């Protein structure tokens, strides 16, 4: 097995557990938050600075790296670890989600997906075998099965974000039957998982790269059950919950996660893909999830939105123009703690100026802060699991309370 998973502590009050995953490129503590380095880089951040935020594992996007610079070149330059100079654990997704959400046109058949490159318009085919082959060349420690990503709820009844995504995915079908599409996706995902597992086993790389399966099923809990049973019938070192946080509300996310997580084997890491805001993470940890990824810290950082324990600050707002305070006085990131012999924080006023002037340093400082914010939350979550100190956690992080203000995440498409 490429990875091992050790559970070091469990909550008595809920299903949360703290643990450690050991990979060929080192270990990471769980629950773990993985920042996203779509094109072989976390946007604007030196790998050394990423490591300093407490990030122990990062995510790369197969779809984007396939288009540019291509997996052959990455392999030639030492795989993704060597290429991007990140010696620690890496996870790559399968490319499936991006094909659906970013592909200009795509044809889905039982064999795979054909789409148009967003880089040069060329026609590209992605199949379970091709996704495995690419991920082998990228060489991440954890690789993901190629799945069929259906709309999570019926596009005719869902909210706008949903409709936009879903319309894209179903536009080739004049008479769309949501139920039927979910069933087809569910069944296809299992067939594709078996092809991925077979190809991966035959590659002889199972001792260096761990393949995770992905449970789909939208917001339909019965379909989630069916998917979980069939995915878990394939013996794999880890399992993921996909198709979540693509537009649903908090209650729907919690419902799916609380239903699905217990269906996955307790001795394997459970990865909730593309989630999310702080309270989503806490709810999912309580349901027994161990791994998370999301573009929120870096994407919002680039857009001048800074996370704090009480909610986001929109640093472009005029109210910050003369504010000498740091983003968060309790934070120890480079933006909030400063540097040098007598460290002083960077003020909100200065950060606002950087964004107003279009200076790169604004996105850099706020992204660094945001990633550290999420890693500090994970540190606190891991610390509180053994003691069941959930109310202490919520008092230190008001933003994690279920009634906290929250807008829809826009994760998942890579950045």
- 3-class secondary-structure state, position 10: strand
Contacting residues toward a second copy, per CB under 8 A: 39-48, 51, 64, 68-69, 73, 76-77, 82-85, 87, 321-322, 324, 334, 338-342, 344-347, 349-350, 353-354, 356-357, 359-361, 363-365
Whole-angstrom Cα distance, residue 392 to residue 6? 26
- Least Å from the CB of residue 114 to a second copy: 23
Among residues 105 and 339, whose Cβ is nearest to a second copy? 339
Report whether 236 contacts 214 (CB < 8 A).
no
Among residues 29 and 359, whose Cβ is nearest to a second copy? 359
- Least Å from the CB of residue 96 to a second copy: 21
Among residues 184 and 349, whose Cβ is nearest to a second copy? 349
Among residues 82 and 398, whose Cβ is nearest to a second copy? 82
Joined tokens for residue 282: 């806490």
- Is the dihedral angle over the CA atoms 271, 272, 275, 277 positive or is it negative? negative
Q: Which of 93, 220, 290, 328 is catalytic?
A: 93
Name the strands in the sheet holding 26-30, side by side, starting at the edge strand that comes first in the sequence: 4-10, 17-23, 26-30
Query: Is 93 labeled as catalytic in the residue annotation?
Result: yes
Alpha helical stretches, state H, 243-360? 250-260, 278-286, 296-302, 334-337, 348-356
Q: Which of 49, 280, 293, 328 is catalytic?
A: 293
- Least Å from the CB of residue 100 to a second copy: 22
Whole-angstrom Cα distance, residue 329 to residue 310? 12
Among residues 76 and 173, whose Cβ is nearest to a second copy? 76
Burial track 166-188 (b if 16+ CB lie within 10 A, e otherwise): bebbbeeeeebebeebbbebbeb
Report whether 140 contacts 90 (CB < 8 A).
yes
- Least Å from the CB of residue 208 to a second copy: 19
Query: Is 403 labeled as catalytic in the residue annotation?
Result: no
- Least Å from the CB of residue 316 to a second copy: 13
Where in the sequence numbering do the catalytic residues fall? 93, 293
């Amino acid at each position: 097995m490429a990875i091992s998973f050790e559970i070091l502590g469990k909550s008595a009050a809920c299903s949360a557990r703290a643990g450690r995953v050991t990979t060929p490129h080192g270990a990471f503590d769980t629950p773990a938050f993985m920042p996203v380095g779509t094109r072989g880089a976390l946007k604007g951040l030196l790998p050394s600075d990423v490591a300093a935020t407490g990030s122990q594992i990062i995510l790369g996007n197969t779809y984007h790296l396939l288009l540019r610079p291509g997996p052959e070149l990455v392999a030639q330059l030492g795989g993704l670890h060597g290429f991007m100079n990140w010696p620690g654990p890496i996870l790559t997704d399968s490319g499936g989600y991006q094909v659906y959400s970013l592909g200009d046109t795509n044809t889905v058949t039982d064999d795979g997906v054909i789409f148009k490159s967003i880089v040069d318009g060329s026609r590209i085919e992605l199949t379970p075998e091709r996704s495995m082959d690419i991920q082998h060349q990228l060489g991440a420690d954890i690789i993901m099965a190629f799945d069929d990503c259906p709309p999570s709820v019926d596009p005719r009844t869902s909210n706008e974000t949903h409709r936009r995504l879903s319309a894209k995915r179903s536009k080739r079908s004049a008479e769309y039957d949501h139920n039927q599409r979910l069933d087809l996706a569910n069944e296809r995902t299992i067939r594709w998982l078996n092809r991925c597992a077979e190809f991966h086993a035959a590659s002889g790389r199972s001792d260096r790269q761990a393949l995770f399966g992905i449970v789909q099923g939208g917001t339909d809990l019965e379909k989630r059950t069916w998917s979980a049973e069939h995915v878990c019938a394939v013996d794999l070192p880890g399992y993921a919950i996909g198709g979540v946080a693509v537009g649903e509300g908090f209650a729907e996310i919690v419902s799916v996660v609380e239903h699905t997580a217990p269906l996955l084997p307790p001795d394997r890491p459970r990865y909730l893909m593309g989630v999310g805001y702080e309270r989503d993470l806490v709810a999912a940890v309580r349901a027994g999830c161990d791994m998370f990824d999301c573009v929120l810290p870096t994407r919002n950082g680039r857009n001048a939105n800074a996370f704090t324990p009480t909610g986001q600050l929109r640093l472009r707002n005029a109210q910050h123009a003369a504010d000498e305070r740091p983003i968060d006085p309790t934070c120890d990131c480079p933006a909030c703690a400063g540097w040098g012999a007598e460290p002083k924080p960077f003020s909100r006023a200065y950060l606002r100026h950087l964004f107003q002037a279009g200076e790169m340093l604004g996105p850099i400082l706020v992204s660094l802060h945001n990633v550290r914010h999420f890693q500090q939350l994970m540190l606190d979550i891991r610390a509180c699991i053994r003691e069941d100190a959930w109310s202490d956690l919520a008092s230190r992080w008001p933003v994690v309370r279920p009634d906290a203000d929250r807008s829809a995440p826009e994760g998942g498409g890579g950045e």
